[in-house]
Amino acid sequence: MGHIFKTAFKSGKFRFGFFVMAAVLLLIVFFPVFVRTDPLLMEGGMFEPPNTGEMMRARREQGPSPAELPSSPENTAEGDLLSQFGITAVTREIPKKLHVLGTDNFGRDVMAELVAGTRTSLLIGIVAGIIATFIGLAIGLVAGYTGGQVDNFLSSLTNIFIVIPSFVILVLVSVSIDSRSFWSTGVIIGITSWPWTARSVRAQTTSLRNRDHVNLSKLSGHSMPRIIIQDILPYIASYVVMAFILQVASGILSEAQISMLGLGPRNVASLGLMMNWAVFFSALPTGAWWAFLPVVLMVALISFSLNLMNSGLDQIFNPQIRN
């Protein structure tokens, strides 16, 4: 595995995607260390724009304006005069904290939510990627090596899952589950997104099962699991890594899709759930771009970096592209 990554760093696409992904990981690791903020804490007003806290602190240092002064005997007459025309003075609480990306509809810091949501979505993508890659790898290896009726059955099962849209299965399974955490969301996405990996691994294994070193292992009396693990799997290890990267990216996008429908994890911030809140509370019509644009850019950045890493690996290990 170390040789694969050492070889992969020869590709400029892989290096660029890797460094972008490393920057995202550094952000979600070190931001909570320096800024200890609960991402779900309601500490501001609804859709406060970025740097509102800083501007309000500057205004507070200059002193409140007459409209912001509390009612007193000196301005009671002015208040009575305004009340005759149906005008009511509104006193707003001055924010005590800077919000770099403003606040969302609940008055929560968007930057803290973005970091926490990115961490949650990445965990969901990794869990989904591990499960989908493992299931697809196991089915593809067994079907490609054994052939015959076992291959026909597993290939038919794979084709059934391919024909039925995975998103439909994902939505149906998510609706049937009452308690949804990011772990269960990752598991659901993983068990519904393995078919393409299984089909590709089967094709790779079929081309390897009649190689000389595999036939030699058969003549030596080695068991099927040993032949698959030691004589076939190492030859497709690079492809397994590429499949895992794509499954992680697909898992993050799937989480965003189902969370937009309100079927994602609950009681935790995620990128999809942040977009759901922004759409439900009309962030776009009200012009609160900071409530959804950073989330969309983060999803695009993560997907772009992972796909760029996969393209770099394909450029290195695919003989047709390399030549």
- Least confident range from 34-38, 52-56, 104-108, 254-258: namely 52-56
Domain coordinates of the chain in residue numbers?
A: 2-49+107-322, 51-98
- The pLDDT score that the predictor gives to residue 287 is 85
| CATH number attached to the domain at 2-49+107-322 | 1.10.3720.10
Contact 294, 110 (CB under 8 A): yes
- Least confident range from 55-59, 98-102, 221-225, 275-279: namely 55-59
- The pLDDT score that the predictor gives to residue 320 is 60
- The pLDDT score that the predictor gives to residue 65 is 45
CA 20 to chain centre: 15
Tell me the mean pLDDT in the region 228-257: 90
Work out the end-to-end distance of the chain between its first and last CA atoms, rounded to an integer number of angstroms. Answer: 23
pLDDT band for 1, please (50, 70, 90 cuts).
low
Nearest to 134 by CA among 185, 201, 180, 181: 201
